[in-house]
Amino acid sequence: MRNLHIRLAAAYALKGETERAAAELVEAKSLVSDDRFSSVARLKTSGSFRVSECFRAPKIRALVETTYIAGLRKTGMPEE
């Protein structure tokens, strides 16, 4: 479920629904015992970003940056 909430946070932020985005980010953070959702840098070094082959493909990485990561930045997630 935590991955659902972090993805919803990004999607809501991209749509301009900042309050809903912030609420989903808070929920995602509450469902993990580590700090993977504390910053963009931390997220990129955790879990699926490190392991998944699809994120290593340049085209996919670019799409992730322009949608998912851009949305998380709009939620207020810091870079570091």
pLDDT tens-digit map of 4-63? 999 999 999 999 999 999 999 999 999 999 999 999 999 988 876 665 666 778 898 899
Contact 13, 74 (CB under 8 A): yes
The pTM is what?
0.86
Contact 42, 28 (CB under 8 A): no
Contact 55, 49 (CB under 8 A): yes
What does the pLDDT read at residue 79?
Answer: 96
Q: How far is CA 19 from CA 22, 54, 79, in A?
A: 5, 31, 20
Backbone angles phi, psi at 45, to 5 degrees: -100, 5
Q: Which residue has the higher pLDDT, 2 or 76?
A: 76
Q: How far apart are CA 6 and CA 70, in angstroms?
A: 12
